[in-house]
Amino acid sequence: MSRRNPFRPTFGASPYHWAGRSLILEEFSEALHGHPGHPSRSMVIDGARGIGKTVLLTELEDLAAQQGWVVLRATGRADAVRTLIDTTIPAKIAELDPPAGRTVTAVQVSGFRVDTELLDAPTPTPTLGTRMRHLLGLLRGTGVLITVDEVQDADPETLSEIALTHQDLVRDDRDVALVMAGLTHGINRLLDLPGTTFLRRARRFELGPLTDADAHAILTATAADSGRPFVGNATDTAVRIARGYPYLVQLVGFLAWNRAGDTITVHDVEAVRQEAVRMMGAQVHAPSLKGVPPAQLDYLRAMAELTDEEVSSAAVAEHLGRRPNEVTDTRGKLLDRGLIEAPAWGRVSFTLPYLAEFLRGDSRPTRVS
């Protein structure tokens, strides 16, 4: 029995127990088995901070690797394509096709050492396309997956070059897949740029909360495997606090596990609620609100004063002392940012759990008597 905390409330850290997202995993697996040009071989995954984009990307990479595909991780930085061409792809090629030892590396010509390579015809500068074709030529019955995370911060030219090369290879019936992930706001902005047209046609998934059943399964299995199980109604309480938000599932599990004895009780879970919400504020809410213009913040605060969940947009406008049509634009921008949702016509709700509390300042540390 391990006595190390098995929960992983860390961005990008794959959980010990996975649950949910099965539609995407199945569809991708099917696509890999399918023919070149299968629509789900090009995917764009978006969603709020901490909703599980990075670990899903890792899961998709694992799926591909299990099926014998070569996985290339690209950053979105301006030098990403160069890195693929000069380093990442050549390394994979060398793995699959180790270069034979060169027999003659140099010859003597009237006293000078001349590399034989210099005497060869000049080779064209490799591009992402030629490198990919070389790599693909070494594979039989499998293909190459490229993944890009944090697309919202990516260099548009890098993305468009990767996307265009992918599109070109798809047209030539090559076995390639491309999966990109990022925050909703950034992705929407990106898909509006010229040169990323192709990505607009990719299979798009927006990650929402996990179901309560999935959250329950993650908590139960993770704790039980570590030898410190949830008992009584403790799991249900943790599920209620986590509200399907994957980062909170890990965080509540982590904090409760730490303070528990041999078993995790309802009391342990309730005792960490405030700490979990506070950490959520620091790790998720604060960074999500960074750079949000004042008018949008005012809108969010007005919402928070009216509700924890959902409210009519007319009521928000009234609370702001404005006519509904005067705040339509602000509302649209917040929807686009993925900070609010429209659960029904004329209604708005917060995407991130506990954002209302955060905006009201409810979760500041309270004094304990």
Task: Please list every residue from 250 through 279 that binds Mg ion, using CB under 5 A.
Answer: none
Type and span of the H or E element at 230: none
Q: Which residues contact 249 (CB under 8 A, 6 or more apart)?
A: 210, 215, 218, 219, 238, 239, 242
Output the smallest distance, CB 12 to Mg ion, in A: 5
Give min distance, CB of 141 to ligand ATP, in A: 30
**CB 236, CB 269: distance < 8 Å:** no
Residues 59/60/63/69 CA torsion (nearest 10 deg): -130
Residue 356 lies near ligand ATP (rule: CB under 6 A): no
The correct pick among 18, 28, 230, 354 for binding ligand ATP (CB under 6 A) is 18
Is residue 253 involved in binding ligand ATP (CB under 6 A)? no
Name residues contacting ligand ATP, limited to 171-210 (CB under 6 A). 183
**Closest to ligand ATP by CB, 143 or 186:** 186
Choose, by CB under 6 A, the member of 89, 132, 162, 218 that binds ligand ATP. Answer: 218
Total Cβ atoms within 10 A of residue 345 = 7
Least gap, CB of 195 to ligand ATP (angstroms): 24
Contact partner at residue 209 from Mg ion, ligand ATP, none, CB < 5 to 8 Å by partner kind: none
DSSP characters for 6-62?
----STTPPPSS--S-HHHHHHHHHHHHS-TT-GGGEEEEEESTTSSHHHHHHHHHH
Q: Which is nearer to Mg ion, 153 or 157 (CB)?
A: 153
Q: What is the distance of C-alpha 266 from the center of its chain?
A: 32
Determine if 28 is a binding residue for ligand ATP (CB under 6 A): no
d(CA 304, CA 293): 17
Give 170 or 352: the residue with its C-beta nearer to ligand ATP: 352
Q: How many residues bind Mg ion (CB under 5 A)?
A: 2
Which H or E run includes 178? strand 176-183
Task: Give the binding site for Mg ion (CB under 5 A).
Answer: 53-54
Task: Give the binding site for ligand ATP (CB under 6 A).
Answer: 8-15, 18-21, 47, 49-55, 183, 218, 246-247, 250
